[in-house]
Structure 1
Amino acid sequence: MPSNETEPPIGSRGVLLHVGPHKTGTSALQGGLAASHDVLLRHGVTVVGTTAEQHHAARAVTRHSSTRGMKRIDDRHWTDLAASVQQVRGRAVISSELFDVATDDVISRIVDDLGPDRLQVAVTAVPLSSLMPSAWQQRIRSGFTVPLDDWLRETLDAHGRDEPARFWRRHRLDHVLTRWAAAIGPDRVHLVIGDKERKRQILEMFEQLLGVPDGTIVNPAWSTNRSMRRSEAELVRRVNTLAETAKWSAATHARFLRMGASHELTLRHRPGPEDPPISLPAWAHGQVHDIAASIVEGIERSGVHVMGDLDTLLAAPAQVEDPQTPGTISIEAAAHAVIGAARGGGAGILREKHVEPADLRKYPGVSSATTDLLKDELRRRGDLPELTQLPSDQLTAELRRRAKRRLRRVLGR
């Protein structure tokens, strides 16, 4: 651990940019950075912006738009964050897995905007064998309907193609590291390898990079973004299929399912041992191990700074009998899903005469639809086509008037 007299690994004015990728402990790290904001500042490290602001900035600069039902992000979110970094005189840190789809031209812009003399990049990593099932269930939360085995076959078959699928653009880590190393030099790119047996390992390695004492970055319980279990994922997948048949809009899905039912399940429900984590099926072990081995070889050739044991990335999944697709789910889990969908729709706040912005932040699904998505929904329903021609402010006012009128009818007022 660096002493007070020793310059931190990223330098006294370094900017540490954590670029993910997805499903590699990013939520725990971001929760820790947010919860430790004040104490980090006392050690000369500024967490630039809130977690949401960092995600918005990453989405803006990468022009990332794959999540169904999310608003389009204006470029000012990136320029504002970059300007805030320039105001920091000491060390700074930013974390968002949404940077993981950055192309070469986007990387060049990030380097220029954050300062080529200051920027250092961290990439987190976990074994591919555990990451792939986790990535699949994350897609299920966003509206995906393809079963795990089918998705695995499609994704593994796509590996090595000239035009890589988005999954491999994110998770072919040797290529990710090489792209960043080409822009800022391999000595300024850090691979941080997690260890499931040591929950704090990633936090400890970031403490080392930032040059702060052990234990500075806390790990609040609320920051954990656990993956859905097999029965939970199958429930959401089947509902996704029904929602797709019913032609739900992306905004409606985001509101009731992604930010509603599935969010509530992973936040509130505590699955028992009868519902184990989703695991890689036995038929995929060999192919996944071979790809992981080629990634490790590429990392060794890249010359980047490796923190942790590369052999961890070759860890084989536990040898368990491939489970059947669940046909049932516990009553408790189902209840959490129903409550989550209701909350996503605004239950508990829509009877209020005035809704505070803080309330909307508790239930992000309530405000997830953009004007364009609302217009699409109106067209789909055939609800007064002339409404779709209104400017956004008039459309919002008209929808508010109609909502109040409907509420008065429901409440008998």
Structure 2
Amino acid sequence: MFFHVGAAKTGTTYLQRLLFANREQLAAAGVLYPGDHFGAHVQAAFDLRGTGFDGPDPHAEGRWRAFVDAARDWNGPVVFSQELFSPADPRQIATALADLSFADVHIVLTARELSRQIPAAWQEDVKNRFTTSFDEFVRQVREPRRLASRQGRMFWELQDCVDVLQRWARDVPPERVHVVTVPPPGGPRDVLWRRFASVVGIEPGFVDAAAAFQNSSLGLVETTVLRRLNLALDDEVGWPLYNELVKHYLAQDVLVDRAGSSPIRLSEDDRVWAAERARAQAEGLAAAGYDVVGSLRDLLPPDPPPQASSDGSPEASVEAQLEVALEAMAALLLRISRLRRGIR
């Protein structure tokens, strides 16, 4: 039983898309990836934790039990994968492991270098309708104990690999705890999948990893425009509509991977702080004696790019924001037109 509990923005969506798209082939090969739709693992996490995106999710009720029953009935390896399991508290984790006591549970955590995680987490929050500026987000991440640092605390609940594994693996032998590191940029796209598959016992070439959906991050200008849109919207635009048209269509289909998009970068001071924190995390994982697939060096920061300034990301110019906003308006109007004509 392989329980992949996170972390968010470490290629989890990429891995989950691969597993879900190939679930029938995997089942034929003896590996179960349960769930009748892609969001089923989200619902299982919400059901276990008694939560949801906006309060308890009624659609999630019974999903965790269904997953447990499916795992019990399966004769072979089973994979649960969802980063929303990672914030579970000790009581919820004890419940999960007790429910799965019939299996040898392996805990799997994918981990990525911190200076890449912080910008990625901010833009992901903006895609989920948050309105915090990048500077304030970084301040909260650096000072999570401040009363006003809600997003900072949320960040570490998902991203503090040492803490997440101390909670989830307290009663699991270290040889059954696997840290899969995300490789640095520039290498083959399927390295993460090959590392993950080696843990689960799947032949990596069994699936076409190149065809999987990549949940790429937005650039600075695109995220700035989306954040300004969030500030302008009111409650009349509910989450289901926002989720469909803004998050999944506008952000993940239209604004992602635009030509010439500028990455979001930390300032020099924040990079130095993140490097120190990343080294502490790598040392903590090494000391715990977990199985590391890849290298803990992957979690250490590279040298800053030559073009990086001490101020981090430049300001998103008004002209650049206007160009993105016009593209967004045109894309949304086209989408509405197609929906009215019954074209999905």
For the aligned pair, the TM-score class normalised by the smaller chain equals 0.7 to 0.9
User: 1:127·1:312 contact (CA, 8 Å) conserved in 2?
Assistant: yes
Q: Secondary structure at the match of 1:165?
A: helix
CA distance in 2, matches of 1:35, 1:219: 10
| Correspondence 1:198 to 2:188 | yes
1:63 paired residue among 47, 50, 57: 50
Correspondence for 1:327: 318
TM-score relative to the length of structure 1: 0.73
User: 2:254·2:328 contact (CA, 8 Å) conserved in 1?
Assistant: no
Shift of 1:43: 2.2
| Correspondence 1:33 to 2:19 | yes
Shift of 1:146: 1.6
C-alpha change, 1:44 and 1:312, in structure 2 (3 Å) is: same
Correspondence for 2:103: 117
Matched letter for residue 15 of structure 2: L
Aligned ranges 1:2-401 → 2 under 5 Å: 15-49=1-35, 50-65=37-52, 67=53, 71-115=57-101, 117-158=103-144, 165-195=153-183, 196=185, 197-219=187-209, 221=211, 223-243=213-233, 247-249=234-236, 252-264=237-249, 265-269=251-255, 271-316=257-302, 317-319=304-306, 320-321=308-309, 322=312, 323-329=314-320, 333-334=324-325, 336-338=327-329, 341=332, 348-349=338-339
C-alpha change, 1:334 and 1:203, in structure 2 (3 Å) is: same
1:263-322 deviations in Å (ceiling 9; x for gaps): 323223464553222222223011111111111111112121111110111123535133
**Structure 2: runs of 5 or more not aligned:** none
Shift of 1:35: 2.0
Q: Secondary structure at the match of 1:215?
A: helix
Shift of 1:332: 7.0
CA distance in 2, matches of 1:335, 1:153: 31
CA distance in 2, matches of 1:72, 1:103: 21
Q: Secondary structure at the match of 2:98?
A: helix
C-alpha change, 1:248 and 1:148, in structure 2 (3 Å) is: same
Shift of 1:130: 0.1
User: 2:18·2:212 contact (CA, 8 Å) conserved in 1?
Assistant: no
C-alpha change, 1:138 and 1:272, in structure 2 (3 Å) is: closer
Shift of 1:242: 1.2
1:133-173 deviations in Å (ceiling 9; x for gaps): 00000111111112111210122012699x98121121110
C-alpha change, 1:179 and 1:138, in structure 2 (3 Å) is: same
User: 1:47·1:92 contact (CA, 8 Å) conserved in 2?
Assistant: yes
User: 1:23·1:134 contact (CA, 8 Å) conserved in 2?
Assistant: yes
User: 1:137·1:227 contact (CA, 8 Å) conserved in 2?
Assistant: yes
Matched letter for residue 177 of structure 1: L
User: 1:111·1:184 contact (CA, 8 Å) conserved in 2?
Assistant: no
TM-score relative to the length of structure 2: 0.86
CA distance in 2, matches of 1:115, 1:215: 31
Matched letter for residue 155 of structure 2: F
Matched letter for residue 146 of structure 1: T
CA RMSD, 1 decimal: 2.8
* Structure whose CA Rg is larger: 1
C-alpha change, 1:275 and 1:59, in structure 2 (3 Å) is: same
C-alpha change, 1:114 and 1:69, in structure 2 (3 Å) is: closer
Shift of 1:124: 0.3
Size of the aligned set, in residue pairs, is 332
Shift of 1:39: 2.5
C-alpha change, 1:279 and 1:21, in structure 2 (3 Å) is: same
